[in-house]
């Protein structure tokens, strides 16, 4: 069935669409009440984040907009040391969208929410004129324990930089779909709950974490230099990447340091805890390729020590990145 403007009327077609696709996929006692807002239990300190997802195409190798809309928001909560609990989902649907496609997206979203341990507790659907596009906004709420204080300003000279896995996968996957390039590159789109929870439970001294999304690792670390006043020394030979993504980046002239992921994070941890943290991430879901890739320095720059023995300054991404990657 195709979405028509009637599905956005607020009347019977709207409630049918909501009941048959979105509530069915995400059913839980809070959502099923269908009240004007969800009343849930929380903690003394909560983390809140929101993000909109406009990725094109809607489906790609390794994921889809539904999975992405949960991962992006859940990962942002985790990066502050919050345990994700609740998520909202607001759909903006263009007239002409196929209900079959909406069902696939909603189901994928529900599966990913389950994997991440979050309940979808509120939602909204709007239909607008257009050409079958689908956009999703999610807001996430997580609980932060009293003692937890994870932020980029906490980086200290000598701390270790740990990357949880290979760079560039999501970016290369979306670009391949867009340019109709045939390869086996899959998006890494994933919720990072397991690795963060395991590190926190083991008492790793985590100073800062950031998921490596739009703008890439180069942009994240340049942001960290501003908030912490520290610099970062990186070693090119330590940076995990798949041979396929490396070749793809080379052919298209892309800098892997500016390519986005959706299931990778950079963690800054106390040097004494570096080995323990890498072991924990490697034995956690989605972390098998984790590595120490450098350390925090005092010169307020992001510097790559290259395979050829040179030193190259890594800037943040400027100008145009890949549009609609997330
Ligand atoms: Mg983020």
Question: 215-255: per-residue pLDDT in tens?
Answer: 999 999 999 999 999 999 999 999 999 999 999 999 999 99
Instruction: Tell me the CA–centroid distance for residue 132 and ligand 1, in Å.
Output: 28
Instruction: Tell me the CA–centroid distance for residue 212 and ligand 1, in Å.
Output: 7
Instruction: Tell me the CA–centroid distance for residue 290 and ligand 1, in Å.
Output: 18
Mean pLDDT of 41-47: 89
Assign 8 a pLDDT band (cuts: 50, 70, 90).
confident
Tokens of 200: 């926190």
CATH 3.30.1330.10 boundaries in the chain: 5-143
pLDDT at 43 over 90: no
Q: What is the pTM of this model?
A: 0.95
Mean pLDDT of 92-109: 97
Instruction: Tell me the CA–centroid distance for residue 118 and ligand 1, in Å.
Output: 18
Q: Around ion ligand 1, which residues have CB less than 5 A away?
A: 76, 211
Instruction: Tell me the CA–centroid distance for residue 304 and ligand 1, in Å.
Output: 22
| Residue where the block lists tokens 């997802």 | 53
| 290 to 26, 151, 277: CA distances (angstroms) | 33, 21, 9
Instruction: Tell me the CA–centroid distance for residue 229 and ligand 1, in Å.
Output: 20
Give residue 11's pLDDT.
Answer: 84
Mean pLDDT of 105-121: 97
pLDDT at 320 over 80: no
Pairwise CA distance, residues 5 & 289, whole Å = 47
Instruction: Tell me the CA–centroid distance for residue 104 and ligand 1, in Å.
Output: 25
Instruction: Tell me the CA–centroid distance for residue 137 and ligand 1, in Å.
Output: 15
Instruction: Tell me the CA–centroid distance for residue 83 and ligand 1, in Å.
Output: 15
Assign 314 a pLDDT band (cuts: 50, 70, 90).
very high
**How many CA atoms, within 13 angstroms, populate the side-chain half-sphere of residue 210?**
23
pLDDT in tens, 161-182: 999 999 999 999 999 999 999 9
6 versus 234: the higher-pLDDT residue is 234
Instruction: Tell me the CA–centroid distance for residue 238 and ligand 1, in Å.
Output: 23
Pairwise CA distance, residues 209 & 77, whole Å = 10
pLDDT at 319 over 90: no
Instruction: Tell me the CA–centroid distance for residue 98 and ligand 1, in Å.
Output: 31
CATH 3.90.650.10 boundaries in the chain: 152-313
Instruction: Tell me the CA–centroid distance for residue 49 and ligand 1, in Å.
Output: 9
Instruction: Tell me the CA–centroid distance for residue 140 and ligand 1, in Å.
Output: 12
Instruction: Tell me the CA–centroid distance for residue 51 and ligand 1, in Å.
Output: 10
pLDDT at 318 over 80: yes
> In 229-325, which ranges are continuous DSSP H helix?
243-252, 274-282
Instruction: Tell me the CA–centroid distance for residue 96 and ligand 1, in Å.
Output: 32
CB 299 within 8 A of CB 198: no
Q: Smallest Cα–Cα separation from 156: which of 206, 119, 200?
A: 206
Instruction: Tell me the CA–centroid distance for residue 211 and ligand 1, in Å.
Output: 5
**DSSP 8-state class, residue 5:** G
Instruction: Tell me the CA–centroid distance for residue 7 and ligand 1, in Å.
Output: 33
Cα Rg of the chain, angstroms: 20
For 168, phi then psi, to 5°, come to: 90, -5
Instruction: Tell me the CA–centroid distance for residue 15 and ligand 1, in Å.
Output: 33
- Topology of domain 152-313, CATH: Phosphoribosyl-aminoimidazole Synthetase; Chain A, domain 2 (3.90.650)
- Topology of domain 5-143, CATH: 60s Ribosomal Protein L30; Chain: A; (3.30.1330)
> In 50-167, which ranges are continuous DSSP H helix?
65-78, 99-116
For 83, phi then psi, to 5°, come to: -95, 115
């Amino acid at each position: 069935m195709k979405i028509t403007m009637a599905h956005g009327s607020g009347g019977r077609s709207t409630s049918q669409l909501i009941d048959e696709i979105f509530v069915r996929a995400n059913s839980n006692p809070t959502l099923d009440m269908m009240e004007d807002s969800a009343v849930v239990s929380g903690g003394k300190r909560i983390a809140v984040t929101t993000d909109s997802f406009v990725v094109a195409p809607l489906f790609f190798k390794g994921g889809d907009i539904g999975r992405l809309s949960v991962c992006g928001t859940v990962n942002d909560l985790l990066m502050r040391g919050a345990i994700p609990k609740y998520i909202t989902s607001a759909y903006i649907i263009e007239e002409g969208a196929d209900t079959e496609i909406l069902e696939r997206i909603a189901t994928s979203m529900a599966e990913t929410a389950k994997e991440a341990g979050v309940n979808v507790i509120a939602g909204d659907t709007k239909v607008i004129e257009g050409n079958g596009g689908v956009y999703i906004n999610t807001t996430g709420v997580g609980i932060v324990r009293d003692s937890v204080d994870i932020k980029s300003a906490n980086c200290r000279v000598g701390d270790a930089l740990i990357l949880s896995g290979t760079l560039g996968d999501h970016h290369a996957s979306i670009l391949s779909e867009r340019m109709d390039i045939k390869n086996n590159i899959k998006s890494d789109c994933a919720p990072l709950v397991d690795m963060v929870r395991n590190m926190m439970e083991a008492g790793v001294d985590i100073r800062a974490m950031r998921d490596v999304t739009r703008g890439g690792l180069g942009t994240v670390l340049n942001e960290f230099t501003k908030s912490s006043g520290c610099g970062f020394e990186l070693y090119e030979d330590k940076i995990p990447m798949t041979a396929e993504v490396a070749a793809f980046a080379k052919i298209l002239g892309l800098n892997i340091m500016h390519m986005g992921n959706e299931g990778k994070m950079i963690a800054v941890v106390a040097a004494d805890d570096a080995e323990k943290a890498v072991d924990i991430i490697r034995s956690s879901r989605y972390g098998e390729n984790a590595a120490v890739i450098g350390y925090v320095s005092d010169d307020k720059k992001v510097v790559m020590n290259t395979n050829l023995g040179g030193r190259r300054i890594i800037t943040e991404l400027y100008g145009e990145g890949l549009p609609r990657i997330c």
